């Protein structure tokens, strides 16, 4: 079986050994690894089983050297990471506020096309560039396409984080209208993405923090679940699989995600959720992608601890299939080089 066929087999709940994997890291970690290995030839050892592409459609209107506005009119400050300075809607009043169609922006991209993409850096491309890359790769690897900022994140970007959480309680009619307006635009976007020659669509929306569902399970079920289900349904209607990236602890709504039609849950932060328990409870209904901690284990563990945890995840979560191994977030600059090397060497060796 080639890489794509291995993932397809695992996603049919068939046990695959070695377990399929993906490796991802930030640019600074790549540079440190290049220095350690004496060049970039080490990247040739990485055989990611899934190619994940982000469609870069979001326009930025530069205000000054350090600020820009997005398509909604929200003011941001640049930096790592960028953050909201002034939301577009300061009050829970729709007025004449409109959300323009995202479709005209799909041909644009702030990211320069890379002829030979780095295997560990997620490519962010225009729709046309994504199509070309997918056409060249979709028979070799499993392919998923997504975009940034889901319904919840888009709503709080428009209103401000604390404001929108308050709206859910104090101004529910306004919150419903805003989410419905966003849903219409996101469905339009999904209709374009499913035309691409990919295997799945990945949604990105952080529903959890370290403690649990950030709006609480009940509010999530009331405001997000029916709308998320419509997005998932639109993807399934095209014959593609549904992936959901979400950080934090979403343990309490995993049954709701499954009920909504989710095929693959991605990230699986072990510092926030009991990943082995998720496999035990939901491994017959849900596929998993992720699981290795980047908050504690990778930056603060030892190389041997990292190797052992990789082997445990591969063994336990890979049992019965339905699992692709990766870290819950990219390997970042706070990870000691010896730990990054242990991660890379263990994953690509297949000794589990």
> Helix, strand or coil for residue 64?
strand
pTM, rounded to two decimals: 0.96
For a pLDDT cut of 90, what percent of the chain falls above it?
89
How far apart are the C-alpha atoms of 123 and 133, rounded to whole Å? 10
pLDDT band at 117 (very low <50, low <70, confident <90, very high): low
Query: What is the per-residue pLDDT for 110?
Result: 57
* Domains with residue ranges and CATH for the chain: 3-349 (3.20.20.210)
Per-residue pLDDT reduced to its tens digit, 92-103: 999 999 999 999
Query: What is the per-residue pLDDT for 352?
Result: 43
Residue written as token pair 């959720």: 273
Helices (H), the chain: 3-11, 27-37, 127-137, 151-159, 161-170, 172-193, 217-219, 225-237, 254-260, 275-282, 297-300, 303-317, 337-349
Cis before residue 325, ω within 30 degrees of 0? no
Mean pLDDT of 37-66: 93
How far apart are the C-alpha atoms of 207 and 214, rounded to whole Å? 6
Using alpha carbons only, give the angle 44, 47, 53 rounded to the nearest 5 degrees. Answer: 105
Cis before residue 81, ω within 30 degrees of 0? yes
């Amino acid at each position: 079986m080639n890489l794509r066929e291995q993932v397809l087999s695992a996603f049919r709940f068939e046990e695959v050994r070695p377990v399929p994997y993906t490796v991802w890291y930030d640019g600074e970690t790549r540079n440190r690894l290049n220095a350690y290995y004496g060049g970039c030839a080490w990247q040739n050892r990485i055989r990611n089983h899934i190619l994940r592409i982000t469609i870069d459609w979001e326009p930025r209107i530069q205000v000054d050297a350090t600020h820009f506005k997005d398509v909604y009119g929200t003011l941001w400050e640049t930096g790592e990471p960028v953050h909201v300075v002034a939301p577009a809607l300061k009050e829970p009043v729709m007025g004449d506020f409109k959300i323009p169609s995202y479709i005209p922006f799909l041909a644009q991209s702030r990211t320069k096309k890379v002829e030979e993409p780095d295997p560990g850096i997620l490519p962010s491309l225009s729709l046309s560039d994504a199509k070309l890359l997918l056409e060249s790769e979709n028979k070799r690897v499993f392919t998923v396409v997504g975009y940034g900022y889901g319904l919840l994140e888009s709503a709080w970007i428009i209103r401000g984080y604390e404001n929108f959480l308050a709206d859910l309680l104090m101004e529910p009619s306004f919150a419903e209208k805003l989410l419905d307006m966003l849903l219409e635009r996101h469905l339009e976007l999904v209709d374009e993405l499913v035309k691409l020659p990919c295997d799945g669509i990945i949604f990105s929306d952080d529903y959890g923090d370290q403690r649990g569902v950030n709006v609480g399970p009940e509010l999530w079920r009331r405001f997000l679940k029916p709308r998320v289900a419509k997005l998932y349904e639109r993807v399934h209607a095209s014959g593609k699989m549904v992936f959901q990236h979400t950080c934090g602890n979403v343990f309490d709504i995993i049954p709701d995600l499954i009920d909504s039609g989710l095929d693959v849950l991605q990230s699986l932060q072990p510092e926030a959720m009991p990943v082995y328990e998720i496999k035990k409870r939901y491994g017959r209904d849900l596929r998993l992608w992720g699981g290795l901690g980047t908050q504690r284990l990778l930056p603060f563990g030892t190389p041997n601890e990292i190797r052992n945890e990789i082997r445990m995840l591969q063994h336990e979560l890979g049992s019965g299939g339905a699992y692709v191994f990766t870290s819950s977030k990219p390997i970042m600059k706070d990870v000691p080089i010896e730990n990054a090397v242990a991660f890379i060497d263990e994953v690509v060796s297949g000794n589990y």
